[in-house]
Amino acid sequence: MTEIIRQRLQDSIRIKSEMAQNDALLLDVQKLAQEIIARLKNGGKIVLCGNGGSATDALHFAGEIVGRFQKERDAWPALVLNADVATMTAIANDYGYEEVFARQAEGHVNAGDILIGISTSGHSENVLRAVRAAKRRGAATAALLGKDGGAIRKTADYPIVVPCDTTARIQECHITLIHILCELIENEMQKAVAK
């Protein structure tokens, strides 16, 4: 057991270390942070969605944005499409599970918003359809992905791909990226308030 624990910690450190040396990925994260900040400054909101562990990551991200991450400040708007069980199950029953996020995006997403889909495979059909629906509404779109980024990478405006094939390691990197994004957003939004 000790060796498994040691190996998994080393695996997680290795992939994060590789990401830290990937200048293109770092620039992608910076660009996404800047886009989110611009949307929030202009009165837009963050809309998130994901399945399973990625659904939990979406909730975590929104909690840090609406509540606070590290600084006392005003609340900012974030909406999680996988949080509303009644709406999700109604849409799944009437239209199919592939439409549970797209249908909500049609109702909630505006041109000034940004939709962020989270998918470790990059192939989650309901997340892909949500990205497409948000684009039709004129919103910016982003995605936290894994593996090769899948179909969602080709569709989202700001795809961030964790270059790894192991779901658990991808999810660990996603939560790290979420925390980094929250820190960047708070820092820049606080500078704007201070001016």
Q: Which domain holds residue 79?
A: 25-194
- Under 8 Å between Cβ of 113 and 45: yes
Residue 11 belongs to some domain of the structure: no
What does the pLDDT read at residue 127? Answer: 98
Residue 131 belongs to some domain of the structure: yes
Residue 33 belongs to some domain of the structure: yes
- Under 8 Å between Cβ of 182 and 46: no
Angle at 137 between CA 179 and CA 92, to 5 degrees: 75
The partner residues of 115 in beta bridges, in order of sequence, read: 47, 141
- What CATH number did the domain enclosing 180 receive? 3.40.50.10490
Residue 85 belongs to some domain of the structure: yes
What does the pLDDT read at residue 190? Answer: 82
Residue 186 belongs to some domain of the structure: yes
Q: Report whether pLDDT(192) > 80.
A: no
Q: Report whether pLDDT(195) > 80.
A: no
Domain count, the chain: 1
Q: Mean pLDDT across the chain, nearest whole number?
A: 96
What does the pLDDT read at residue 194? Answer: 62
> What's the rounded mean pLDDT across residues 34-41?
97
Q: Report whether pLDDT(123) > 70.
A: yes
Residue 13 belongs to some domain of the structure: no
Q: Report whether pLDDT(191) > 80.
A: no
Categorize the per-residue pLDDT at 95 as very low, low, confident or very high, splitting at 50, 70 and 90: very high
Residue 30 belongs to some domain of the structure: yes
Residue 15 belongs to some domain of the structure: no
Q: Report whether pLDDT(80) > 70.
A: yes
What does the pLDDT read at residue 193? Answer: 64
pLDDT digits (tens, 9 = 90+) for 125-176: 999 999 999 999 999 999 999 999 999 999 999 999 999 999 999 999 999 9
User: What's the start-to-end Cα distance of the chain, in Å?
Assistant: 53
Q: State whether residue 145 is helix, strand or coil.
A: strand
What percentage of the chain carries pLDDT values higher than 70?
A: 98
